[in-house]
Amino acid sequence: MDKIKLERLADILKNSEKIVFFGGAGVSTESGLRDYRSEDGIYNSISKYGYPPEEILSHEFFFDKTAAFYEFYRDFFMGKPQPNDAHIALARLEEIGKLTAVITQNIDNLHQLAGSKTVLEIHGTTQKYTCPRCGKKYTREYLEKTQGIPHCEKCNTPIKPDVVLYGEMLDDNTVSAAIGAIADADTLIIGGTSLAVYPAAGFIRYFKGKNLIVINKGATSMDDRADLLFRDSIGQVLGQAVALL
């Protein structure tokens, strides 16, 4: 890793007051989770479910083929990964008053497990569930106690994860908070995302601050605009930079 670039990043972090982090699946791969679009990602895996993953993770599929949805969902989203150095470094930046928000496309709750408080989950979370009929709320712990399709205790309707499936709209309040945080930031760190998923990737255009940092192993649409560009492990980059503060 380029030591000079790393020291420059640490200097930027030290002199920033409103850092925002915008991250994707690549942040969690170092915790053992698979991403979506890489060669070994979920979307490029050979499906044993009879349907492509993009179809399974849709609003229509959930309601039409709920059993198949939950078979896939339990296989891919019900593990117990732990935060990695990237999650821990971001929590530390917030703790010392530098980072104002984590905006994540991930649904794995790892930022919160690492200690981050202000986490805007663009695509929802696997930690919460709702009955589409009566609105009763459930936790991940309830789902873990069930098998197959989890049903509402009140009305016996299959409960739904509080994640944004294909064909569903993003939460307006989360979107507004994310755009506001980016617009107010003096430093924006983009990490672990190819910026290929819209509308979330479009939030980046609201950044008007001074420092744009990109940390991603693959190319992104913001590489040419970045003040600093890293193709290294995001955990190593953020972990070592924060350690220099």
3-state secondary structure of 228: strand
Please report, rounded to a whole number, the percentage of residues in the chain having pLDDT higher than 70.
Answer: 94
Q: Residues 119-130: what's their mean pLDDT?
A: 98
Looking at residue 225, its pLDDT comes to 96
Looking at residue 172, its pLDDT comes to 97
Range in 6-20, 27-41, 122-136, 155-169 the model is least confident about: 27-41
Band (236; pLDDT cuts 50, 70, 90):
very high
- What is the DSSP annotation of 157-198? PBPEEEE--BT-PPPHHHHHHHHHHHHH-SEEEEES--S-ST
Reply yes or no on whether the pLDDT at 187 is more than 70: yes
Q: How many CB atoms lie within 10 A of CB 168?
A: 13
Asked, as a colleague might, if the bond just before 199 is cis with ω within 30 of 0, I would say yes
Active site amino acids:
123
pTM for this model (two decimals) = 0.93
For the chain, domains (ranges, CATH) are 1-33+83-123+169-245 (3.40.50.1220)
Looking at residue 75, its pLDDT comes to 87
Whether residue 37 contacts residue 45, with contact meaning beta carbons closer than 8 Å, is answered with no
Q: How many CB atoms lie within 10 A of CB 209?
A: 16
Looking at residue 33, its pLDDT comes to 84
3-state secondary structure of 125: strand
Compute the Cα dihedral for 80, 85, 86, 92 and give only its sign.
Answer: positive
Whether residue 98 contacts residue 17, with contact meaning beta carbons closer than 8 Å, is answered with yes
- What is the DSSP annotation of 191-227? ES--S-STTGGGGGGG--SSEEEEE-SS--TTGGG-S
For residue 102, what is the DSSP state? E
Rounded to whole angstroms, the Cα distance separating 159 from 71 reads 14
Whether residue 193 contacts residue 25, with contact meaning beta carbons closer than 8 Å, is answered with yes
Band (38; pLDDT cuts 50, 70, 90):
low
Q: Residues 192-219: what's their mean pLDDT?
A: 94
